């Protein structure tokens, strides 16, 4: 390595949710020098702050704008995958839903030999991050950096949805992160005073003034520097120029379920036979890198609304003025305002289906528009059995990797999603919606059979933006990191993000990713 390379104690790659947490926590020690590298830019876009505007950030300069390979069980469609390329990462462009998943998810991680990852171990880290609007409790914390709030403005149709769910026998649940996850209720969101509160807002921005923390944007990491099976630094491109930095203690990857395995593979860490095929020299044969990819597939079911009360006109001049003056009104909506967690299997103690409701037409990630008022449901598989992979297309670090999600490869996944479609149709056709329900838009009104719904799913399933598992934690031959998130076989290198999940949690993944980073910060300090 050239002698001119700057040196830090820790070099963190990726300023998403996990990277922001680690940069903040590790730089609390004034004697520790921390560098945070982010391929994207600053989080200055106005749409980041406006909760209801998040889909306007899709396919923008703030988005990696990934696409899958042709999905064999979805009629070979290529699916768009938005991932945040900006300070805050995907927490700057997501729907802000604060869900931890099911406690048994974490107990399952621990049962696989990952000591210290049970729900009892994870809960203190969830609470440490949290500034819960409702106050402290057995399950919630106050005084943490991340604001967790009730929605400022709940659409009348969302109340109708909850009434319909209760009429059909789904229990009311005021806190999906409390004693039980099952049931129907409003989501809490990562917002502060009606504005998005991303990981950059919560963790990184308060640390900016620390002299021992340096944040470099537009820095695209291209390779981890390895010397004798020890990570020594990172190579990155900035403004077209290659630069290197030295890590005296550790290199920590926080790029997420796509970018973290990609960088490992580019650095020669992964399945040796696959690396040779794309022209990458194998440094360490680690077959699990990029494997075990899991995601939550969803499909949109929608109806026209007979009354003009949806979010269709949320960005009217009146609502814009209300938002910018008072941070109130429809623009504070996260769009997916409420949901239901359901277990479709009698033999499982955890939910496998999440239904999200939004008082708006939301199809193809919000890119498809209609003039009429409409509302929609998103039945989502949250306990997928199908597995995919991330692989390199070439040795070019600027070329996006190949993503094979393998959605609905397992018949059990298709069954649960069919049940989800049937469930939302029952909710929509219930009495509370009678005064608001117009024509059914999708699935088509004539769709009634398993075959009909299966074809609807294959033509319309999309991601709910929760990829995980590609650098899984464990001790089996396909594990990439150990229970302290250290890359197996490479010293001074860790992965800290959703890619370490052995199995994706049953719910939205942002809060668990922040928890993982909080716990990792303690591990890193203890180990060093």
Q: Give the catalytic positions in this structure.
A: 466
The total of other beta-carbon atoms located within 10 Å of residue 63's CB is: 20
Location of structure tokens 């990562």: 190
Alpha helices in 64-185 (DSSP H): 103-111, 119-129, 156-167
Distance separating alpha carbons of residues 374 and 440, to the nearest angstrom: 10
Hey, is 212 helix, strand or coil? coil
305 sits in which H/E element: strand 301-305
Q: Are 423 and 86 in contact (CB under 8 A)?
A: no
Hey, is 498 helix, strand or coil? helix
Question: Cis before residue 477, ω within 30 degrees of 0?
Answer: no
Total count of residues recorded for the chain: 528
DSSP letter assigned to residue 213:
E
Torsion of CA 216, 218, 220, 221, to 10 degrees: 0
Q: Are 443 and 417 in contact (CB under 8 A)?
A: no
The total of other beta-carbon atoms located within 10 Å of residue 366's CB is: 16
Cα angle 481, 484, 488; round to 5: 30
Torsion of CA 216, 220, 224, 225, to 10 degrees: -70
Q: Are 309 and 359 in contact (CB under 8 A)?
A: yes
């Amino acid at each position: 390595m050239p002698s001119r390379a700057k040196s830090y104690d820790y070099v963190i790659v990726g300023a998403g949710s996990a990277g922001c947490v680690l940069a903040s926590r590790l730089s609390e020690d004034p004697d520790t020098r921390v560098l945070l590298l982010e391929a994207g830019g600053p989080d200055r876009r106005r749409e980041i702050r406006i909760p209801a505007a998040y889909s306007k950030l899709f396919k923008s300069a703030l988005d990696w704008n990934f696409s899958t390979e042709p999905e064999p069980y979805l009629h070979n469609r290529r699916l768009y995958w938005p991932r945040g390329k900006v300070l805050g990462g995907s927490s700057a462009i997501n729907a802000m839903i604060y869900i931890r998943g099911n406690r048994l998810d974490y107990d399952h991680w621990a049962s696989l030999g990952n000591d210290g990852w049970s729900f009892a171990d994870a809960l203190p880290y969830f609470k440490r991050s949290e500034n819960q609007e409702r106050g402290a409790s057995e399950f919630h914390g106050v005084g943490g950096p991340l604001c967790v709030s009730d929605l400022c403005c709940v659409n009348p149709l969302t109340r109708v949805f909850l009434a319909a769910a209760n009429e059909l026998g789904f229990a009311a649940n005021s806190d999906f992160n409390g004693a039980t996850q099952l049931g129907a209720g409003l989501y809490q969101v990562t917002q502060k005073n009606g504005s998005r509160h991303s990981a950059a807002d919560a963790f990184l921005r308060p640390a900016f003034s620390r002299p021992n923390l340096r944040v470099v944007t537009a820095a695209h990491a291209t390779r981890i520097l390895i010397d004798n099976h020890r990570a020594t630094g990172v190579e990155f491109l900035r403004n077209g120029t290659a630069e290197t930095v030295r890590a005296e203690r550790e290199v920590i990857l926080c790029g997420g379920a796509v970018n973290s395995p990609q960088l490992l593979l580019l650095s020669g860490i992964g399945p040796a036979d696959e690396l040779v095929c794309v022209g990458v020299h194998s440094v360490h044969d680690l077959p699990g890198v990029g494997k075990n990819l899991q995601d939550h597939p969803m499909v949109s079911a929608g109806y026209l609304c007979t009354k003009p009360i949806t979010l269709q006109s949320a960005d009217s001049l009146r609502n814009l003025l209300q938002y910018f003056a008072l941070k109130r009104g429809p623009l504070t909506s996260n769009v997916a305002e409420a949901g239901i967690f359901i277990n479709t299997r009698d033999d499982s103690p955890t939910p496998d289906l999440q239904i999200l409701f939004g008082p708006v037409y939301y199809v193809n990630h919000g890119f498809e528009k209609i003039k009429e008022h409409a509302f929609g449901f998103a039945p989502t598989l949250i306990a997928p059995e199908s597995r995919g992979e991330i692989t390199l297309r070439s040795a070019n670090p600027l070329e996006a990797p190949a993503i094979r999600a393998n959605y609905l490869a397992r018949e059990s996944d298709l069954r649960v999603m069919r049940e989800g479609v049937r469930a939302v149709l029952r909710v929509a056709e219930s009495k509370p919606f009678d005064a608001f329900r117009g024509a059914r838009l999708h699935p088509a009104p004539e769709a009634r059979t398993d075959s009909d719904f299966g074809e609807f799913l294959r033509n319309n399933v999309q991601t709910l933006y929760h990829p995980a598992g590609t650098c899984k934690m464990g001790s089996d031959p396909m594990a990439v990191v150990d229970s302290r998130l250290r890359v197996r076989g490479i010293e001074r290198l860790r992965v800290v993000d959703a890619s370490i999940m052995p199995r994706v949690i049953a719910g939205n993944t942002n809060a668990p990713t922040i928890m993982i980073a909080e716990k990792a910060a303690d591990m890193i300090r203890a180990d060093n």
